[in-house]
Amino acid sequence: MLEKMSHSKQRLFVGGIATIILFLFIGLSSYPYFRPFFALTLSGVVGGAIYEYYKIARNKGFSPLDTIGIICGIAYVLAVFLSTQSKAMEVLPNIALVLTGLIVFTNYFVRGENLFVNTAITFFAIAYLALPLACLLNITYFFPAESTQDGRWWLVFLIVVTKMTDTGAYFIGKSLGKHQLAPYISPKKTWEGAIGGFLASIMTSLFIYFLVNYIYEVPPINLSLFHSIWLAGVLSVIAQFGDLSESLLKRDVGVKDSNSIPGLGGMLDVVDSLVFTAPLMYIYLKAVTV
């Protein structure tokens, strides 16, 4: 059935199903027995994205430590999860990073094959994907149970605003795009699409702002009207930067999509815009709640 659909319809259909599942997982993420499953699911997404990154690197002729990199990336995400559940475990992410370095270099003590480039590629996948995407867990469990704010709502805000940037840019660019944004990186991306994505993100943020203030007497996110506008604008710009960055990597290797998920491309294509917006949102929360 999906094969008979246009790319746009595939994107809407698969994206819609993925969104329903995502919101279900986020809604359940606060329940103690579901928390580990939520963390394992995210670590699986990160592991899949790292796998696709290494696959791209291998197409370029490099030989990163695929298995080690994927396992260490997943271990880092799970370490971050544990650090959000107990102050006694806050040091675990740092331990995971130290162990990653030891494991990678120990392996090359034996192999010693193109060490300089391949170690850099192995580490970069973890720095580019595992570290920033683990911030999604930091956001989810940012506020204590007694707080009036809910990290799940902030996660929804981040993901919806970021992905509406992608969606707005795609459809506006497809219908109205004439002026190329970055022809060397991605000839199909246009300034019209970028502006459309920017406006879509702000409209989405304003919708969330009015929604939570209408539904809740005490909103689960402490977000003023002014902040809802400028934060969405910044997230939109950074999201599009993340999308272009991933396109640059793929162009260097000569591939269109990192995988073949109908309508979405690959796991790397799904998370590319969150790579920079997730840490930004976490930094924002740290800054405004001090």
Model confidence pLDDT, tens digit, residues 137-166: 999 999 998 899 999 999 999 999 999 998
Backbone angles phi, psi at 269, to 5 degrees: -70, -30
Contact 136, 283 (CB under 8 A): no
Say if residue 54 is exposed, middle or buried (CB neighbours under 10 Å; 0-12, 13-18, 19+).
buried
d(CA 271, CA 18): 13
Question: Average pLDDT over the chain, rounded to whole?
Answer: 88
- Full-model pTM: 0.92
- Residue 101 and residue 184 in one domain: no
What pLDDT score does 115 carry?
A: 82
**Token output for 46:** 């990160």
Kindly state the average pLDDT of the residues 17-44: 92
Q: What percent of the chain has pLDDT over 70?
A: 89
d(CA 30, CA 26): 8
What pLDDT score does 207 carry?
A: 95
- Residue 150 and residue 106 in one domain: no
Residue 218 placed within a domain: yes
> With 90 as the cut, is the pLDDT of residue 9 above it?
no
> With 70 as the cut, is the pLDDT of residue 198 above it?
yes
**Domain residue limits at 76:** 31-141
- Residue 118 and residue 70 in one domain: yes
Contact 289, 260 (CB under 8 A): no
What is the number of alpha carbons within 13 Å of residue 164 lying toward its C-beta?
A: 20
- In the chain, how many domains are there? 2
Sign of CA dihedral 48, 52, 58, 63: negative
Residue 11 placed within a domain: no
- Residue 223 and residue 290 in one domain: yes
What pLDDT score does 5 carry?
A: 55
pLDDT band at 180 (very low <50, low <70, confident <90, very high): confident
- pLDDT per position as a tens digit, 201-242: 999 999 999 999 999 888 999 999 999 999 999 999 999 998
3-state secondary structure of 181: strand
Q: Which of 118, 141, 164 is where one domain is finished?
A: 141
**Token output for 244:** 């272009």
Contact 260, 250 (CB under 8 A): no
- Residue 135 and residue 152 in one domain: no
How crowded is residue 196: how many other Cβ atoms within 10 Å of its Cβ?
23
Q: Which of 121, 141, 161 is where one domain is finished?
A: 141
> With 80 as the cut, is the pLDDT of residue 183 above it?
no
Residue 104 placed within a domain: yes
- Residue 135 and residue 157 in one domain: no
User: 76-80, 263-267, 269-273 — which is least confidently predicted?
Assistant: 263-267
> With 70 as the cut, is the pLDDT of residue 7 above it?
no
Place of tokens 């971050």: 80
Residue 25 placed within a domain: no
Residue 85 placed within a domain: yes
d(CA 146, CA 132): 27
- Residue 80 and residue 104 in one domain: yes
3-state secondary structure of 29: coil
Beta bridge partners of 265: 261
Residue 14 placed within a domain: no
What pLDDT score does 259 carry?
A: 55
- Residue 134 and residue 263 in one domain: no
d(CA 231, CA 153): 15
Backbone angles phi, psi at 182, to 5 degrees: -145, 80
- Residue 275 and residue 170 in one domain: yes
